[in-house]
């Protein structure tokens, strides 16, 4: 089973987010291939700690690849293993598949030679003993999201004369759908049509981010993007990725507008410029 949540463990763990190790990198990358019968997961990983690498070498610790889709599969990985294969009848990737590398102790491990620990744990390292069959660290998570049919689209538009308003913004399963009561509302007869639609885009972003907060927060007001798992909703996942890319840590009702400004490219400024241009040209 994949584990991601930051928490305080009873002894130092090597993860990408914890501060127990001075330099804690446990990086996994996976590439997916398929043939008629199997899926092949090609793996590569990188561990920063010499101490931990030595445990793997000496077979005191064991890498375990966890592949979770509808259920969990565990594979013991030797350092020389480059890939694992799974029959298609035993794994489905049409939904979300999450992959992580865990490191499990094969024997009782004393940390007295572990020079990679952060200051606090270094003081106690003589006394730190990790029992057999316990986790020593876990990597980042690689997600393959197969249920997405429009992986890169964020917006759709529809003309729908039946809506009870001029514009209706619907949050679809993967995209924001802007419904226009008629084509004129799209400014499609104007050379600036793409910019003139920006206010609708803005409205769509606002609505989607608001729902993101509702879907992904405990209190309905703010989301700590470093704490939550990648959302399962495909539209939320896109926003999650966009925000992560722009290094946004927190989304809240208070900062929605700042977040829109960060993840989009000056859409209102461009809109204002277009309107000003049109009014000057007397078009």
Partner 1 sequence: MSLSENQQLWQFSPIPNIEESNFNKYLERFYNMGTSGLTRENAQNSLDGRLLENNDPVILTIKTGTISKDDIPGIEEVKNRISCFHGRNSYTKETIDHMRNKMNQEEVAYISFEDSNTRGLKGAKNGQSESKEDTWAIYAYNKGVHSEEENKAFENSRGGSHGVGKIASNAASDLHIMYFANCDEDGNQHLGGTAQLLEHKYNDQCYRSTGYFADLQTIEGNKTKFYPFENKFHEVFQKNNRGLKIIIPFLREQYNDEKEIIKSICDSFFISILEKKLEVIVNDKKIDSKTIKDFVSNKDYYIQDIAEMKNEFTPLYINTYLNEEPVPLKISDGINDYNFSLYFRYDSAIPKGRVAIVRTIGMKIEDKKIKNNVNKPFNAVLVAGSYEDGYLKSLENESHTELAFEHIKDQRLQKNAKKFINNLSKEISKIIEESIKKNNPTDGLMNTKDILYVVENQFKKDLTEAMGTVKISKDKSIVKVTTDAPKKKKKNKKKSSDNPVKPRNPVKRVKPKVDIGETNGTEEKLDKYSAHPDIVERLIVGDNEFVIFDFTGSKEISKEKLCNISFSVIDGMGVEYPDEFKINDNYSSVIDNTTGDQCKIENNLIKDIEIKQGVAQLQLELKNNFNRALKFVYYVEV
Partner 2 sequence: MEIKLLKKGYKNNEQFYKDFLEDQVKNKEEYFSDEVAFIDVTPDFPIYIAQGSESTKSELFHQAFDAISDSYLHTNRDIHFDELFWHSLLAVYKRDYLLEQYPQINDGLNHFNNIVLKDFNWENYIYKCVLGAQYINDAISDVSERKRYYSLIIDNLDVFNYIIKYEIFRNDKFLINILDIIDELKLSKVLKSKITGRDDLGKDERVGRRVIFEFNKSYPIIMSPMLEKDDLKELFLQYLVYYYQDTKQLQLIE
Residues found near partner 2 in the complex (CB under 8 A): 1, 3, 9-10, 64, 68-74, 88-92, 94, 102, 104, 132-135, 138
How many residues of this chain interact with partner 1, rule: CB under 8 A?
94
Q: Which listed range, 30-38, 50-58, 83-91, 206-214, lies at the site for partner 1 (CB under 8 A)?
A: 30-38
- CA distances for 113 relative to 60, 129, 130, angstroms: 14, 11, 13
Which of the residues 197 through 216 are near partner 1 (CB under 8 A)? 197-198, 201
Q: Please state the φ and ψ torsions of residue 209, each to the nearest 5 degrees.
A: -70, -35
Nearest one of 254, 155, 263 to 213, comparing CA atoms: 254
Closest CB to partner 2 among 115 and 229?
Answer: 229
As a whole number of angstroms, the distance between CA 178 and CA 194 comes to 14
**Residue 25, interface with partner 1 (CB under 8 A)?**
yes
Displacement of CA 27 from its chain's centroid (Å): 15
Which tokens belong to 255? 């900062």
> Which residue(s) pair with 21 in the sheet?
117
Cα–Cα distance measured from residue 234 to residue 220, given in angstroms and rounded to the nearest whole number: 19
Chain centre distance of CA 175 = 17
Strands 176-180 and 155-159: parallel
Six-digit token string for 47:
């561990």
Report, in Å, the least distance between residue 101 CB and partner 1.
11
Does residue 42 touch partner 1 according to CB under 8 A?
A: no
Site for partner 1 in 214-253 (CB under 8 A): 219, 221, 224, 226, 229-230, 237-238, 241-242, 244-247, 249
Return the SS3 of 125. helix
Q: What DSSP designation does 5 have?
A: -
**Minimum distance between the CB of residue 75 and partner 1, rounded to whole angstroms?**
19
Judged by beta carbon, residue 101 or residue 243, the one nearer partner 2 is: 101
In the list partner 2, partner 1, none, the entry touching 241 (Cβ below 5 to 8 angstroms by class) is partner 1
Q: Is 194 in the site for partner 1 (CB under 8 A)?
A: yes
- When the beta carbons of 35 and 279 are compared against partner 2, the nearer one is 35
The interface partner of residue 186, options being partner 2, partner 1, none and the CB cut-off 5 to 8 Å by kind, is partner 1
Which of the ranges 56-64, 144-152, 206-214, 251-259 carries the binding residues for partner 1, by CB under 8 A? Answer: 144-152
> Counting contacts by CB under 8 A, is residue 6 touching partner 1?
yes
The rounded distance, in Å, linking the Cα atoms of 77 and 83 is 9
């Amino acid at each position: 089973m994949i584990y991601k949540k930051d928490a305080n463990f009873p002894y130092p763990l090597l993860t990408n987010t914890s501060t127990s190790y001075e330099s804690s990198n446990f990086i996994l990358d996976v590439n997916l291939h398929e043939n008629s019968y199997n899926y092949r997961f090609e793996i590569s990983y990188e561990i920063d700690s010499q101490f931990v690498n030595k445990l793997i070498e000496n077979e005191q610790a064991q890498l375990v690849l966890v592949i979770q889709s509808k259920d969990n599969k565990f594979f013991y990985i030797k350092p020389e293993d480059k890939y694992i294969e799974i029959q298609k009848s035993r794994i489905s990737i049409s939904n979300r598949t999450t992959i992580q590398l865990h490191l499990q102790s094969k024997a009782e491990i004393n940390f007295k030679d572990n020079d990679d620990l952060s200051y606090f744990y270094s003081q106690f390292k003589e006394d730190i003993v990790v029992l057999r069959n316990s986790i020593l660290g876990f990597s980042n998570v690689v997600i393959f999201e197969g249920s997405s049919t429009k992986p890169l689209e964020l917006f759709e538009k529809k003309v729908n004369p039946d809506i009870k308003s001029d514009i209706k913004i619907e949050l679809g399963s993967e995209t924001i759908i802007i419904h226009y009561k008629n084509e004129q509302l799209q400014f499609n007869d104007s050379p600036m049509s793409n910019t003139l639609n920006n206010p609708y885009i803005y409205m769509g972003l606002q609505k989607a981010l608001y729902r993101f907060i509702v879907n992904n927060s405990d209190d309905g007001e703010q989301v700590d993007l470093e704490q939550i798992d990648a959302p399962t909703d495909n539209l939320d996942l896109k926003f999650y990725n966009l925000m992560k890319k722009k290094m946004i840590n927190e989304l809240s009702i208070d900062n929605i507008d700042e977040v829109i400004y960060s993840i989009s490219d000056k859409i209102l400024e461009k809109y204002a410029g277009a309107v000003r241009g049109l009014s000057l040209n007397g078009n």
